[in-house]
Structure 1
Amino acid sequence: MNYSVIGAFTIILIVLTSGEIISMKTKAFVPSVFVSAVLFLIGFWTFMPKDIIAMGSFAAPIVNVAMYLLLVHMGTLMNLKELLSQWRTVLIALAGIFGICIMTLTIGKTLFGWQTVVAATPPLTGGVVASILMSKAATDKGLTSIAVLATCMYVMQGFVGYPISAFCLKKEAKRLLGLYRNGGKEAHLAKSETASELTSPRKKLIPPLPEEYQTPYVILLKLGFVGWLASKIGPVVHINDFVLCLILGVIGCEIGFLEEKSLNKANSFGFLMTVLMAFIFANLSQATPAMLKQIAIPLFGIIILGVIGMYIMSLILGKALGFSKQMAFACTLTALYGFPADYILTHEAIKSVCETNEEKEYVIDDMLPKMLVAGFTTVTIASVIIAGFFVKLL
């Protein structure tokens, strides 16, 4: 069946919206990407044409533009001051990523083969960007089932990460609540003062443009310019363009050339993320029931190996850096979902344990910054860098 551009666009958005609504109704316990993936699979096996994603205009070159702009934008989300203040969290999160790679590239390689673990590991360490990079690389090499595996890894990893994280966070919330009820109120005041210092405005080398000139055109122009620079510099220094976008985005924001949270200010973030989310499901058009059966064992096997690797590293480094074992493990598990699930899971755990607003505030001030920084470290930074490196290994 053939659809017009707007008809295909509408059907794609119906699927994505359905996933989002179900995720909201279940408080993110059922991931939106899982629901959307199932609906797309049913659609591809029944009434949807295989190329409906391209028919809806969610294909190159707009996807490539979206990738460049979003990755530069991710750099503008970083607050280096906060990352430095949470250096222990950053180290634990990176150790978790290291644990994933060690387990998948040793035991995983023996069990499932080199190409399988190389394609599946970056999506396991992060989010949509890593999944797209690996699935595209696999597709370019004609490895259809491997490309589907990379997509499915992104879709399924949250089902393991959510319940384990919820258990760890609830346990940590109970521990902190006990500290608060046994004289932790003064410590809370000290934390509040430190937090106010971290959120004070940062001085930039380049002063910000007047508000009236911070229009979508101007902001997108600057993001596009930085992305173009990355595309020119990348081949020269032998660094993946998308990894360089992230690095240059951080630098551009720190010196004041780029606005913080650029795409949000340009009112463009939502649309560009929609482009990426639609594109990632395009690989599922090649997935047959037989292929899904074939990749099921490596899919869940690699996830289990990755979680074991994260747990071992979180135990070792968490103890050395003064984290409770449950908080350290929760920080590493952010690799399986990132934001906003890290925010939602933390709040849900705290609400289920604390009784007063003062108790909630105390526990949130301790747990939430760690979870957010960990999620940013794993999904936004580490997974993109790892994917840029692993693309060359496939």
Structure 2
Amino acid sequence: MEVTLTPIMCLFVVVVFMSIGDIVSMKTKAFVPSVFVAAVLFLAGYWGGWLPKDIVDRAQMGAPIATVSMYLLITHMGTMMSVRELCREWKTVVIAVAGLAGMALLLWYVGPLFTDRNAIVTGTPPLSGGVVAAIIMSKAAGDLGMKDMAVMAMLIYIVQGFVGYPLTALCLKSEGKRLLKLRAEGRAETARSDVDAATGSGFHLVPLKYQTTYTHIACVALVASLADLSSIGLKSFLAYLNPEWVRYSLHPLVICLIFGAIAAEFGIVERRPMNKAGAMGYLITILMVFIMGMLNSATPEMLPQLVRPIVVVVVVGVVGLLVASCIVGAVLGYTLPMAMALSLTALYGFPPNYVLTDEASKALAGGDEDTYNFLMSHMLPKMLTGGFITVTITSVILAGIYSTLLVPPAAM
């Protein structure tokens, strides 16, 4: 008797694959990225014929719910932008932005010498950020009929951790040893530990006693809706001025990020609202599973053709990232290891930036809690800020811009 997979069965299968990825990542202390393991399982299933290619759609985690989830997630990420914390860590912000600028510029001018321009445009945002940037670029490429580029965006997001994790671990251990030497010599400064302080006006659109799962989601959806309306209005205005200018309009998700930050400052929406609503984990699950579903268009014949552009994007991009961050870091008084570590957060973001800092501090502390707290207080604020600037903010902005720069093969 042939068994037809029901939606809940499909959901079970895809979540088990994601769980296996997490377990392998934890067992290897994040050396093997969880998304890589999950991608291998999905590709094996797709290519082996024992996994339906529409399993993600069957699990009700396809484009409709993934699109809504992105709007909610990006607005949520905007609420995490604390002006006070960004001002306190302004040097970190400058170094992180400089690193991404170096990455983008080197890829733009040097990358095309080794591979196709569309590959550079597709690969830059995912390399500079996380899941949302990868989805934006993959969708933009897919809409133009470039299935290979759509798959490439996903693959760069999946493999970049292999470069970022070991390099960051080496940088943090080097910086940690330097800090311990300074402390032994009595020359270490006291660092603040309140890295997640919130700011705001003190006003709450919904009084605290009435805040529930529904009100948190409603407030986020309100802000995202206003951002969407603004995006539509901006496109109409640009079309009125000049139809050719429409392609340069801000991506709706970029506006969601901006509106989320503004709304949180004025109390229209709370800080980290989706966490408070208990919905953050499910949103992330939807997006991660959606990415795996987008790999169903990958074929065994396609992957060898993508090796070269992926290698070019990763190698050239990381070189530009490190060179620029080191130069600006040296000017601002940061050590080279610290400048490189915080810029490398672009390759993985949160929570790996926390995990890597935690593991480096524990290894150097040797079980001494005071030493561990000392190292974390000096390195963690920079690493969290670096990841926030690169993955949360800049990558989404880059994706919004670069998604308009893709050129269909027929037009080239």
TM-score, length-scaled by structure 1: 0.95
**1:225 & 1:169 partners in 2: Cα distance?**
41
**Residue 380 of structure 2 is aligned to residue 368 of structure 1:** yes
Residue in structure 2 matched with residue 163 of structure 1 by the alignment: 166
**Residue 112 of structure 2 is aligned to residue 109 of structure 1:** yes
Alignment of 1:296-335 (within 5 A): 296-335=307-346
The CA RMSD measured in Å over matched residues stands at 1.5
Cα distance, 1:92–1:154 mapped onto 2, change above 3 Å: same
Residue in structure 1 matched with residue 296 of structure 2 by the alignment: 285
Higher mean displacement: 310-319 or 145-154: 310-319
**Residue 141 of structure 2 is aligned to residue 145 of structure 1:** no
Name the amino acid aligned to 1:347.
Answer: D
Residue in structure 2 matched with residue 8 of structure 1 by the alignment: 10
**Residue 218 of structure 2 is aligned to residue 221 of structure 1:** yes
Higher mean displacement: 155-164 or 352-361: 352-361
Please say if residues 9 and 59 of structure 2, whose CA atoms lie closer than 8 Å, have aligned partners that are also in contact: yes
**2:317 & 2:254 partners in 1: Cα distance?**
23
**2:297 & 2:338 partners in 1: Cα distance?**
40
**1:263 & 1:99 partners in 2: Cα distance?**
33
Question: How big is the shift at 1:206?
Answer: 2.3
**2:197 & 2:183 partners in 1: Cα distance?**
27
Question: How big is the shift at 1:283?
Answer: 2.0
Question: How big is the shift at 1:207?
Answer: 3.4
SS in 2 for 1:289: coil
Question: How big is the shift at 1:282?
Answer: 1.6
SS in 2 for 1:257: coil
Please say if residues 85 and 197 of structure 2, whose CA atoms lie closer than 8 Å, have aligned partners that are also in contact: no
**1:202 & 1:90 partners in 2: Cα distance?**
18
**1:283 & 1:69 partners in 2: Cα distance?**
20
Alignment of 1:112-191 (within 5 A): 112-184=115-187, 187-188=189-190, 191=191
Name the amino acid aligned to 1:163.
Answer: P
Name the amino acid aligned to 1:308.
Answer: V
Name the amino acid aligned to 1:63.
Answer: A
Cα distance, 1:200–1:299 mapped onto 2, change above 3 Å: closer
**1:153 & 1:163 partners in 2: Cα distance?**
17
Residue in structure 1 matched with residue 355 of structure 2 by the alignment: 344
**1:307 & 1:245 partners in 2: Cα distance?**
28
Please say if residues 177 and 354 of structure 1, whose CA atoms lie closer than 8 Å, have aligned partners that are also in contact: no
Name the amino acid aligned to 1:370.
Answer: K
Residue in structure 1 matched with residue 397 of structure 2 by the alignment: 385
Question: How big is the shift at 1:118?
Answer: 0.5
Misfit runs of 4+, over 4 Å: 198-201
CA deviations over 1:166-189 (Å, ceiling 9, x no partner): 11110000000100111146x32x
Which residue of 100, 122, 128 corresponds with 1:97?
Answer: 100
Name the amino acid aligned to 2:92.
Answer: T
**1:371 & 1:87 partners in 2: Cα distance?**
13
**1:220 & 1:373 partners in 2: Cα distance?**
26
CA deviations over 1:55-114 (Å, ceiling 9, x no partner): 111113111110110000001112211111000000100111111111111111221111
Question: How big is the shift at 1:208?
Answer: 6.0
Please say if residues 206 and 215 of structure 2, whose CA atoms lie closer than 8 Å, have aligned partners that are also in contact: no
**2:123 & 2:370 partners in 1: Cα distance?**
43
**2:322 & 2:264 partners in 1: Cα distance?**
34
Question: How big is the shift at 1:232?
Answer: 0.8
SS in 2 for 1:183: coil
Question: How big is the shift at 1:274?
Answer: 0.7
**Residue 19 of structure 2 is aligned to residue 17 of structure 1:** yes
CA deviations over 1:26-64 (Å, ceiling 9, x no partner): 121111000000000001012011111111111131111
**1:149 & 1:200 partners in 2: Cα distance?**
38
Identity %: 44
The answer for unaligned runs of 5 or more in structure 1 is: none
Please say if residues 82 and 199 of structure 2, whose CA atoms lie closer than 8 Å, have aligned partners that are also in contact: no
Please say if residues 95 and 313 of structure 1, whose CA atoms lie closer than 8 Å, have aligned partners that are also in contact: yes
SS in 1 for 2:232: helix
TM-score, length-scaled by structure 2: 0.91
Cα distance, 1:201–1:289 mapped onto 2, change above 3 Å: closer
Residue in structure 2 matched with residue 255 of structure 1 by the alignment: 266
Name the amino acid aligned to 1:130.
Answer: A
SS in 2 for 1:112: coil
The answer for unaligned runs of 5 or more in structure 2 is: 235-248, 407-412
CA deviations over 1:142-178 (Å, ceiling 9, x no partner): 1011000000000000000111111111000000010
Please say if residues 139 and 147 of structure 1, whose CA atoms lie closer than 8 Å, have aligned partners that are also in contact: yes
Cα distance, 1:88–1:243 mapped onto 2, change above 3 Å: same
Higher mean displacement: 125-134 or 94-103: 94-103
Name the amino acid aligned to 1:360.
Answer: Y
**1:201 & 1:17 partners in 2: Cα distance?**
32
Which residue of 35, 43, 46 corresponds with 1:44?
Answer: 46
Question: How big is the shift at 1:311?
Answer: 1.4
Cα distance, 1:314–1:5 mapped onto 2, change above 3 Å: same
Please say if residues 158 and 336 of structure 1, whose CA atoms lie closer than 8 Å, have aligned partners that are also in contact: yes
Residue in structure 1 matched with residue 62 of structure 2 by the alignment: 59
**1:202 & 1:338 partners in 2: Cα distance?**
22
| Paired positions, count | 388
Please say if residues 121 and 405 of structure 2, whose CA atoms lie closer than 8 Å, have aligned partners that are also in contact: yes
